[in-house]
Structure 1
Amino acid sequence: MKNWVRANKGFLLFLMLFGIFRTAVADWNPIPSASMHPNLLEGDVVFVNRLAYNVKVPLTDIVISPTGEPQRGDIVTFSSPVNGTRLIKRVIALPGDRVEMRNEQLIINGQPAGYSTIGQTTESIKGIGDIAAVRVDESLGQRSHAIQFLPQVKARRDFDAIVVPPGQYMMLGDNRDNSEDSRYIGLVPRALLIGRAERVLASADITGNWMPRTERFGMSLYPKQ
């Protein structure tokens, strides 16, 4: 064993440095579910900037130093405060924000979010089949993004006003009626943030024919406003 380690020490050093790079600097995140439709699809692989918010001790959630502040509208990977599962959602409310939801409409600091219809499509739900989906553009201050509603699905479409405590964030999925987010798992502490998702690196239709979706390669997750 010692001889094998000695003979392959360069390769082992590479693996160690690569692991540190992935856990401390930059990473990629496969998208396994529909919770971020229509912006992220199953089979997308997104680039995650791990230095966007914090420098952490590799392989831990121990923050060495903050590097930036999450902004409303950022797409963020984080560890679930319930079970540690890695999730990807959108930042909706920041520390100090007063936020509530009434019949799917967000109200942040007394200002209702703006909504304009993009169009209709269908969504395939396991165990249910194809159902109607409505896509709208949601405006939160100066930023806007597409989201999706599933009117036929039972979902949590209302919650009472809360004030987000210091150091915590509200995360929601863009596929509002098919997302396990802060409505179910609670607010997310800053220490559990992994990084900011920046763009789609590659994509394949894993729910269909497994063909590459080359039109999504390199696609930014933040279209110019």
Structure 2
Amino acid sequence: MLERLLKGAFSYLATFAAALVLAGICRHFLFSPVTVYGESMSPTLANHEKVIVSKVGEIHRFDIIVFHAPDEDAYYVKRVIGLPGDSLEIKNDTLYINGNPYAEPYLKQNKANIEEGSKLTGDFTLKEITGKSTVPKDSFFVMGDNRRISKDSRMFKFISAKSVVGKVELSYYPLKDLGMPK
């Protein structure tokens, strides 16, 4: 009887240990929960919002990514604006990538909240703020959606692809924001 009880307990412990190892592997290599701190991505992502970050797959323009901050011991959450080889310019609150204008629908609410005649994003060219005409190989140019307060590539220039933790795939808390951030 005792032997049977010990075998059952061992079986449960082995299953629990295997589940912990599997969860650790998934978290380290595949996905990870992250908490957003600050308002630089609002209204897309709010302060203390919880998201799931995928650590696999390609990064595309306008993806929201988490990366190791280049200027402090922290993680930043920002939107990829420029990919390697891109030239960038913002003129009259319009983003131009490689000379072509791009709509930024995620800025609509923030643009609506500024006074008439003001700009959400100041005019600049990539060369003016980074000294480079294009985004270097294995780098990204990132900006927050709340452009007036975001600490982003306009201040710290490019981020290395190696510093990227992953791409935000899902917001799960608060529950009212459950879904894929846009």
User: 1:158: which partner in 2?
Assistant: 123
RMSD: 2.8
Letter paired with 1:50: K
Task: Write the distance in 2 (CA, Å) between the matches of 1:104 and 1:146.
Answer: 10
Which structure is larger by alpha-carbon Rg, 1 or 2? 2
Shift in CA distance, 159/194, structure 1 to aligned 2, threshold 3 Å: same
From the superposition, tell whether residues 110 and 160 of structure 1 become closer, same or farther in structure 2 (CA, over 3 Å). same
Equivalent positions of 1:105-144 (< 5 A) are 105-114=94-103, 138=104, 144=105
| Superposition deviation, residue 216 in structure 1 | 1.5
Query: Quick one: structure 1 residues 102 and 154, their matched pair in 2 at CA, closer, same or farther if it must change by over 3 Å?
Result: closer
Shift of 1:16: 6.0
Matching of residue 220 in structure 1 with residue 180 in structure 2: yes
Aligned residue for 1:145? Answer: 106
Measured in 2, the distance between the counterparts of 1:46 and 1:109 equals: 31
Code of the aligned partner of 1:170 = F
Gaps of 5+ in 2: 1-12, 127-132
Matches within 5 A, 1:132-211: 138=104, 144-147=105-108, 148-149=110-111, 151=114, 157-161=122-126, 162-203=133-174
8 Å CA contact 1:81–1:186 kept in 2: the answer is no
- Structure number having the greater strand percentage: 1
In terms of fraction of residues, the more helix-rich structure is: 2
Counterpart check, 1:71 vs 2:60: yes
Q: CA deviation at 1:71?
A: 0.7
Over 3 Å counting, the alpha-carbon distance change for 1:109 and 1:100 in structure 2 is same
Residue 80 of structure 1 and its aligned partner are, at CA, apart by 1.5
Alpha-carbon distance between aligned partners in 1 of 2:31 and 2:171, rounded to the nearest angstrom: 14
Q: Paired residue for 1:82?
A: 71
Question: Which residues of structure 1 form unaligned runs of 5+?
Answer: 1-8, 53-67, 115-137, 139-143, 204-213
List per-residue Cα deviations over 1:89-127 (Å, max 9, x = no partner): 01101100000222433211111233xxxxxxxxxxxxx
Q: In the alignment, is the contact (CA less than 8 A) between 2:93 and 2:119 conserved in 1?
A: no
Name the counterpart of 1:30: 35
TM-score, normalising length: structure 2: 0.75
Amino acid at match of 1:110: G
C-alpha deviation, 1:84, in angstroms: 4.2
Alignment length, in residue pairs?
160
Mark the CA change 1:98 to 1:190 in structure 2 (over 3 Å): closer, same or farther.
Answer: same
CA drift at 1:28: 0.9
Q: In the TM superposition, what is the alpha-carbon distance from 1:78 to its structure 2 partner?
A: 0.6
Q: Secondary structure at the match of 1:43?
A: coil
String of CA shifts for 1:1-35, please: whole Å, max 9, x gaps.
xxxxxxxx967876665444323221011112111
